[in-house]
Each structure stands twice: as C-alpha cells, then as structure tokens.
Amino acid sequence: MIRFSLLCCLLVLFAGNTASAEFRVVRLHHVPMLPNAFRIHPELFSGGTPNGDLGFAQLKRLGIKTIVSVDGATPDLDAARRQALRYVHLPHGYEGISETHAQRLAKAVLELPRPIYFHCHHGKHRSPAAAVVAGVGAGMIAPSVGVGFLQLAGTSEHYTGLYQAAAGAHKMDASLLRALPFEFAEAVEVAPMAKSMVEIEGAFSHLSQLRSSGWKVLAEDPDLDPAHEALILKEHFTELIRSSRDQRSTRFLALLEASRDSAAKLEAGLRRTPRSLAECRDALAAISSDCRQCHREYRDRPAK
C-alpha cells in the first residue's frame, strides 16, 4: 500500500459512491516528476505530463494502470510501455468539455484498468476538470467536489468553460456509458491550430525554465540553448501567422505578430554580449502578456 505523508493531506472531504465513503484529497508532494499531482479518489489521480522515464516510473510505483492524456501533445507511448502502462488520448481544449466528451471520459473511468492518472501539460487546468467530470460521471466522486478541486489544483479563473464543466458535472447511467460505441486510442490526430499552440507552449516553457536559471544551461537539460529556443519560438509564431492569415481576425493576427516581434527581441537580447538581461526579461514578459490576452479573447471562453 502506498503511504502518503499527513503533511500532504488537504482538508477537503467529499463523498464517494456510497454515503459512508469519504476520501481526502491528497497533494502528492513526494512525486516531483509528476507536476501538480493529486489523488482525488483511491483510483483516480490528476496531474501534469510525466517528466521522462522517472515520471512514468513514479506512476508505476503509485499503482497506476492507465494514463489518460487530455493534452494536445502526442503521448510518450514508448515511455509508458517500458512501465507496462496503458495510454489513452482524449484531448480537449480550454473552452470547456462537451457532453459527448464528458461521456467518453466517464466511460474511460468505468471500463479501463484502474487506478487512472489524468494529465494535461502542467496539470493545473484541463486535467483537473477532466478528472472531475469523469469521476462524477462514473459515480466515484460527488458533484460538490468539482469547483473546489479546480481551485485547489490552481485552475485559472479565466478558464470559465472548465469551471462550468466542473460545476455542471453529473452522474451518468453506467449501462448507457458501457453501451456507448467508442474505441479508446493511444494517440489521436490534433487540429493544426492546437498542435501549433502545443509547440509554442513547449518553447515558452523551456524559456521560462532558462530565465529562472539566469539564462544558464540547465543541468537536467544541457541541450537547451537560450537563444536557439527564442528563435524556435519566433519561428512557431511566424508559421502560425502564415497559416492563419486567411482564416483569422485582424485582432488575432495582431496579437500573434506582437508575440513574434517580442520573441525576436528576446533572441537578440540573448545573443548580445554581454546579454541584455532587462531586454530579455521585458520581451518574455511581453510574450506572456500577449498570450494571456489572446487566450482570454479566443481560447478561454466557453464554446457557444
């Protein structure tokens, strides 16, 4: 049996699928390779993408049998297979969770080997919402836990669609879920826009790590070169602008162009000798600000 430190236990209780069953939500501080990981039911976990082979090994030690990714990135199937873990890919966006997708998430919890670990990239937004919708839908956790758990997990208040999905989660008829015709796939094709956003998020995450290290090479990832990562980010924005030119609004393109220009300034600052730390700081902050604004206007609102 896995032992959890009492210090990890959060003071949140919720009913299980019987009136007498109560479980503590547990933040898993002792699994550093699983970002923002929580146990919200003995057989239901939520967190971020496992960090390399060590992350998947930690999942194995937790007793996890199935990993459900709701992220747009292609799952690391090889790493999961090395630990004899099953991967299922059920990606969704930040705008919310449709009833059809909620049924598939709940069906996964009912039918796939448990315990199950739901994850997105950081484990703060999409995976907490998906885990709640799935757990409530399968009758494993009470609907009242939803919004509170998203708040504990750090889900941004700007993701109103995700909060609405959690608040509206409801128990579903198990027989109807089992009869639902759906095949769980290890990996699915993601729309080009979503794929571009995943690439941009990955490059920005690398740059954020490098900034925290004073723009020095990371011991855990020595191949990351700061100026090159800034160049990669600039090219991702450039390609997205090119592919979106005839399909997106002027406002959307203007936000992308501002981010591209800031990425170019960041690259220039990182290549300068000595580096212009203030310029680098301001350029990365500008990209972050433009991305947040773009998300508020185009991504975070509930789908209509």
The kind and range of the H/E element at 164 are: helix 160-167
Geometric angle at alpha carbon 209, from 207 and 210, rounded to 5°: 65
Is-above-0.85 flag for pTM? no
**For 95-134, how does the pLDDT look when each residue is reduced to its tens digit (9 = 90+)?**
789 999 999 999 999 999 999 999 998 899 999 999 999 9
Alpha helices per DSSP H over 83-173:
99-111, 126-137, 146-153, 160-167
Give the span between the Cα atoms of 19 and 108, in whole angstroms.
24
pLDDT at position 193: 77
What's the distance, CA 113 to chain centroid?
22
CATH class of 6-179: alpha beta
**For 49-86, how does the pLDDT look when each residue is reduced to its tens digit (9 = 90+)?**
999 999 999 999 999 999 999 988 889 999 999 999 99
pLDDT at position 1: 38
Residue 224, C-beta contacts closer than 8 angstroms, at least 6 positions apart: 206, 209, 210, 217, 218
